């Protein structure tokens, strides 16, 4: 190539599209869109904003003041009205939500992720009078709500009935709902066990990611009220697994993907969790992140095969992390790490690792699959294995 001063617009369209797709959408729109070049505008409008517009990034986050009102104004006044029909997904902060959504019609918007979510958003925007009602009520099929602040001033019961329950009713075509937060106790879990079965009824929801207060709330979710539920990702907050009501215990043939995180005693594991798993006849992907106390034996490959895998004929991926505490007086055999790992040789194709620490009165024992997919890792210390945990966001030692 002899030319040393090639202009960006001298490049073929295919190369421009490839370059643009590797860059941040917001940066491209702000820097290159509407620069009085029809070819460039056409390329950006047809290839950059087809799917997702992310307003919560390192360059566009209201609450960190990394974007000025001038930049946001330009997006809302000059850019969004010209590309809104191409946008299918928007990620934004609640502080700028109304400002962004009211500037255009967004006829193809179906996915919405809201950071800094709180109850005030429901009372202000999810009403009959809301100017955003059309978008929320009928268009949105995928909704992700991210809590960032404490909810101490409002009870969990209030959120269960007036916030979460209302969301189920208001979004008529909701297929995927995720309610998440920075930490498990940083946002209100669902309390469902004392509410009518019609409270969380849905004939369209196939994926749910939520925290529940206790085991009974999980049973209530699986009592048949969610007719199309295919994927369930649930965290149980309370360690009390005593059931106070009788729930539908029919098999769950439609559930294909199940993720569970909880802490419990040995009795709850054997009498509550394992029987629940055996109701999932067609489960294909199972992820278990469990902390079990008062065990009398190691959870090894033989246990996992006999108690779990053998009951799931369609299971093709099983990720797990068991953190166990075993009293020394109850342990019959003292096993080494190699003894444990050998029991997995004919059980799974996945790599498995374990950590065993014999202490004065008990044993702290971790066994887990690799790569490690979970976002938390508890009860670790400086003797823990030298493994890279790419997805872990929260750790705690003992």
For the residues of 185-218, what is the DSSP string, one character each?
GGSPPB--TTS-TTTT-BSS--EEEEEESSHHHH
Asked if the model's pLDDT at residue 67 lies above 70, the reply is: no
In sequence order, the 6+-apart residues with CB closer than 8 A to the CB of 337 are 354, 355, 356
Tell me the pLDDT tens digit for each residue of 138-181.
899 999 999 876 555 457 777 888 888 888 888 889 999 999 88
Contact 268, 259 (CB under 8 A): no
Q: Look at residue 269 in the predicted model and tell me its pLDDT.
A: 95
Compute the half-sphere exposure of residue 139: CA atoms within 13 Å on the CB side of its CA. 19
Tell me the pLDDT tens digit for each residue of 320-333.
999 998 887 766 56
What percent of the chain shows pLDDT beyond 70? Answer: 82
Closest CA to 165 of 198, 206, 200: 200
Copy the structure tokens of residue 187. 């946002």
Q: Look at residue 60 in the predicted model and tell me its pLDDT.
A: 39
Asked if the model's pLDDT at residue 209 lies above 70, the reply is: yes
What percent of the chain shows pLDDT beyond 90? Answer: 34
Distance between CA atoms of residues 101 and 87, nearest Å: 11
Distance between CA atoms of residues 108 and 130, nearest Å: 19
- Taking residues 361-372, report their average pLDDT: 90
| Sheet bearing 351-358, strands edge to edge | 52-54, 89-93, 111-115, 142-147, 176-181, 207-212, 231-236, 257-265, 285-295, 317-327, 362-370, 351-358
Closest CA to 86 of 114, 55, 45, 54: 45
- Measured from the Cβ of residue 46, the count of other Cβ atoms closer than 10 Å reads 12
Look at 11 and 281; give whichever has higher pLDDT: 281
Q: Look at residue 262 in the predicted model and tell me its pLDDT.
A: 94
- Taking residues 55-71, report their average pLDDT: 50
- Taking residues 308-331, report their average pLDDT: 89
Distance between CA atoms of residues 35 and 57, nearest Å: 23
Strand partners, 145: 114, 179
Distance between CA atoms of residues 205 and 202, nearest Å: 6
- Measured from the Cβ of residue 39, the count of other Cβ atoms closer than 10 Å reads 10
Q: What are phi and psi of 82, to 5 degrees?
A: -95, -15
Largest Cα–Cα distance in the chain?
80
């Amino acid at each position: 190539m002899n030319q040393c001063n090639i202009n960006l617009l001298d490049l073929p369209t295919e190369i421009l599209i490839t370059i643009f797709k590797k860059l941040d959408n917001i940066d491209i729109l702000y820097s290159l869109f509407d620069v009085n070049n029809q070819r460039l505008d056409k390329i950006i409008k047809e290839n950059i904003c087809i799917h997702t517009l992310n307003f919560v990034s390192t360059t566009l986050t209201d609450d960190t003041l990394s974007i000025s009102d001038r930049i946001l104004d330009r997006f809302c006044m000059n850019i969004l009205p010209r590309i809104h029909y191409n946008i299918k997904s928007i990620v934004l902060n609640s502080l700028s939500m109304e400002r962004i959504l009211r500037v255009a019609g967004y006829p193809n918007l179906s996915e919405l992720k809201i950071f800094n979510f709180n109850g005030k958003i429901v009372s202000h925007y999810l009403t009959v009078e809301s100017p955003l009602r059309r978008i929320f009520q009928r268009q949105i099929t995928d909704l992700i709500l991210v809590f960032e602040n404490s909810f101490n001033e409002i009870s969990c019961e209030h959120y269960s009935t007036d916030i979460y329950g209302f969301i189920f009713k208001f979004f008529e075509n909701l297929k995927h709902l995720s309610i998440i937060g920075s930490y498990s106790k940083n946002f209100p879990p669902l309390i469902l066990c004392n509410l009518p079965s019609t409270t969380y009824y849905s004939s369209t929801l196939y994926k749910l990611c939520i925290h529940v207060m206790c085991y009974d709330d999980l049973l209530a979710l699986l009592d048949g009220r969610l007719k199309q539920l295919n994927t369930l990702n649930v965290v149980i907050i309370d360690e009390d697994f005593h059931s106070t009501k009788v729930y539908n215990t029919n098999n769950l043939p439609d559930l294909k993907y199940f993720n569970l995180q909880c802490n419990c005693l040995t009795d709850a594991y054997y009498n509550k969790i394992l029987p629940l798993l055996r109701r999932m006849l067609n489960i294909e992907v199972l992820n278990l992140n469990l902390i079990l106390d008062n065990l009398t034996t190691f959870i090894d490959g033989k246990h996992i095969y006999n108690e779990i895998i053998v009951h799931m004929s369609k299971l093709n991926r099983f990720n797990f992390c068991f953190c166990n505490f075993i009293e020394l007086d109850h342990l019959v055999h003292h096993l080494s790490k190699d003894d444990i790992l050998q029991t997995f040789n004919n059980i799974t194709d996945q790599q498995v690792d374990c950590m065993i620490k014999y202490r004065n009165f008990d044993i702290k024992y971790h066994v887990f699959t690799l790569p490690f997919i979970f976002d938390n890792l508890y009860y670790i210390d400086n003797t823990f294995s030298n493994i890279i945990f790419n997805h872990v966001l929260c750790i705690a030692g003992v």
